[in-house]
Amino acid sequence: MTELQLILVYSLLSGSTVIFGGILSYYFGAHVKAGLIKVEIVHSSIAFGGGILMAAVALVLIPEGMQAVSIFPMVFFFLLGAIIFFFIDRYMERKGGTMAQLLGMVSDFIPESIAMGAVFSRNPQLGVLLALIIGIQNLPESFNAYLDLKSSYSAKKCLVILFLLSFSGVPAALAGYYLLSDMPMAIGALMLFSAGGVVYLIFQDIAPMSKMRKNWIPALGACLGFLVGMIGVKLLG
C-alpha cells in the first residue's frame, strides 16, 4: 500500500472508535438498569476519559508542542486555547447544554490525527502506533461524549453527530501529510492550543462531573485512564 492509502486506512480505523463508543454508550443507557452500580460506571467512565485527556496533554500535546516552539509562542498558543475554550464553554452553558466531553475528544483527536499524517512520510511505523493510540483514546471519550450530548439531543441525533465526527480524522491526517509535514512549528502551535483548551475543560467540567459523594472509585478510573496514555507513549518509544 502507498503512504496515502495507509494514512486513509489508519485514520479511518482510529476514527471508527468514535461511533463505536457512542453505540456502546447508547446500549449501556438503554439496557443497564438504573442504580448505584450504573452511576458508579458512568462516573468512573467520565473520570477514565478525563485521565486519558490528561495523559494526552501531559505526554503528547505539551511535550511535542514545547519541543517545536520557543517560550513566547508556547505561552501565547496555550493561553489562546484556554481562553477560546472558556468562551465556548460559557456559550454552551448559556444555551443550556454541555459538550465538555465532546470538545475534549475533538481537541486531542484532531491535532493528533494531523500529527499522524505529518509523521507518515518520515516514520510510517510511528504513524501506525499513533493511530492505535488515537483509536484507544477515542473509545471512552466518545462513550462520555454521547452522555453529554444526550442531555441536549435525541439518541439518533447524538449518534449521527458521533458518526460524522468519526470521519474527521481523515481530512486532519491528510492536511498533516500534505500541508504540515515540513512545518513542525505549526503542528507544535496547534498541539499547545489544544492542550490549553483540554486543561481548561478537565478542571472546569470533566473532573467535577466525575465526583461522587462518599465514593472513591471514580478517582481510580482517572488513574487508569492516565495509565493507558502512559502505556501508549511507552509503545511509541
Per-residue pLDDT tens over the stretch 199-230 = 887 887 677 766 767 677 777 877 887 887 77
Domain count, the chain: 1
- Dist. CA 159–CA 142, nearest whole Å: 10
pLDDT at 147: 83
pLDDT at 132: 81
CB-based contact 146:162 (threshold 8 Å): yes
pLDDT at 234: 76
- Dist. CA 191–CA 112, nearest whole Å: 8
Identity of the residue numbered 60: V
Q: CA-CA distances (angstroms) from residue 183 to 5, 32, 83, 103, 178?
A: 22, 48, 25, 25, 10
Residue ranges making up the domain that contains 190: 3-236
Task: Pinpoint the alpha helices (H) of 56-206.
Answer: 62-68, 71-94, 100-120, 124-150, 155-165, 169-179, 184-201
- What's the pTM? 0.76
- Dist. CA 86–CA 166, nearest whole Å: 25
Low-confidence stretches of the chain (pLDDT beneath 50): none
pLDDT at 75: 93
SS3 of residue 140 by DSSP: helix
- Dist. CA 209–CA 227, nearest whole Å: 20
pLDDT at 102: 81
Chain CA centroid to CA 218, Å: 19
- Dist. CA 59–CA 66, nearest whole Å: 11
Sign of the CA dihedral running 173, 174, 179, 182:
positive
Per-residue pLDDT tens over the stretch 50-83 = 888 788 888 878 888 898 889 999 999 999 989 9
